[in-house]
A and B are shown apart, each in its own frame.
Chain A
Amino acid sequence: MMFNQLVIGSATSAGNTLVVLVSFLILLLLLKKFAWKPVTEMMEKRSETIANDLDGAKQAQKKANELVAEQQNKLAALQQESAKLIEQAQVNATRMEKEMIEEAKDSIAQMKKQAKMDIAFERQQALDDIKNEVSVLSLKIAEKLIGKELDTATHAKLVDEFIERLADSNETK
């Protein structure tokens, strides 16, 4: 009967107890060597890896956010700069336009002045020519009229006065 075996010191139970304990201990040691240690190490390694990966992901995201912010700042700066450049260019263009107009006006005025001076000079020369011609002519006429030769200096004076009057009357016209 089973319950005979429960009595302490019964011959049957000690041997069986020994077998159970020894086989359990051997099983424990075998499991430890072949299964427990590698599996536990693997599980620890995994949790470590996961923790590291999570940290890495967090850092990567932080870095990415920083990069985006940096790029946005750069972009904003570039936009500002380009706006400034365009403005500058516009100002320059306006100024150059003005300058060119000024210059053109100046040169036109210069040319006008030059032309006027040329005209005046030409006119003067023409007048002088005419004056000389007239004096010579009038001298000849006077020679023919009065038959006497006038002295050239007195004659020139006379002619000058005449031309002066001629010019005045010419100008008033």
Chain B
Amino acid sequence: MEHETLTREFMGLTFDLTTVLVTVASCIIVFLVVFICTRNLQLKPTGKQNFIEWVIDFVNNIVSTSIPGKRGDRFKLLGFTLFLFVFVSNMVGLPLVLVIDDIQWWKSPTADPIVTLSLAMMVILMSHFFGVQEQGFKNYFLNSYIRPVPFLLPIKLFEEFTNTLTLALRLYGNIFAGEILIGLIASLANSFGAVTWLVGVPLQIAWQGFSVFIGSIQAFVFTTLSMVYISHKIGHEETVEHKEYVEAS
């Protein structure tokens, strides 16, 4: 089910125009939805404001589960943006997969491993950055790689790369497989004209419904794991406080 994509060279870099198009489109959709929902903010919320506050509360809960207290506040916007971007990216490929002359024009950006790997790399790099910022380089290094036992150092270094890969490829695999199946069901439905539509359309409806479910779950998982990785890099003070709290209570 692999199709050619439209590529352009620009300033010595090659850009996959399909990915650029759907990524920017997802960003615009996210921005428009959030922008429209946050007009006319009221102290007593109604309708669309309720919806966006529900989303914010949902993401805030994800963040504060991994990074409790005030320290989690600075990551809430990141979690919010990640969640909405990944969710919308998972969804945009469901109603429409556009292939013209074997060139793919429209799909989910998250069905492209480069997009998911970029996001995962960004999250992992941020986790290291915030780890150094919160604890200083020495403590960051000790807590990340040396403690509790030094001989785990190679495994811990290796883990940084596997984290990135699993975070990205889990999302990519789910969405890419979903789109492949959508394409397969579509070609099945078209294999013998209108007769096979009777089978294909209900099947497609069911699979798209399931894909909505998978896309939501994957957006949730991606955001949750991003916050867990960040909390692993910055969270050592918090565990001390937590222990003290547990002992005190």
A binding-site residues for B, Cβ under 8 Å: 1-2, 5-6, 11-21, 23-24, 26-28, 30-32, 34-36, 38-40, 42-43, 45-46, 49
Contacts and interface: CB of A to CB of B under 8 A. Distances in A.
B35 A35 contact: yes
B8 to A, nearest CB: 9
B34 A19 contact: no
Interface of B: 2, 7, 10, 13-16, 19-20, 23-24, 27, 30-31, 34-35, 37-38, 41-43, 45, 49, 52-53, 56, 77-78, 80-81, 84-85, 109, 112-115, 117-119, 121-122
B77 A15 contact: no
B16 A27 contact: no
Main secondary structure of the interface of A (DSSP, over half): helix
Contacts of B122: 21, 24
A118 B77 CA distance: 122
Contact of B114 (A16, A32, A34): A16
B13 A14 contact: yes
A33 B126 CA distance: 21
Contacts, number: 107
Given A20-B115, A24-B27, A42-B41, A15 B52 contact: no
Q: Which 7 A-B pairs have the closest CB atoms?
A: A15-B13, A20-B118, A15-B15, A17-B118, A11-B14, A35-B38, A27-B27
Given A1-B2, A15-B15, A46-B43, A34 B35 contact: yes
Contacts of A35: 34-35, 37-38, 52
Given A11-B14, A19-B23, A31-B77, A39 B41 contact: yes
A43 B37 CA distance: 14
B43 A42 contact: yes
Given A11-B14, A12-B14, A39 B27 contact: no
A132 B35 CA distance: 141
A16 B112 contact: yes
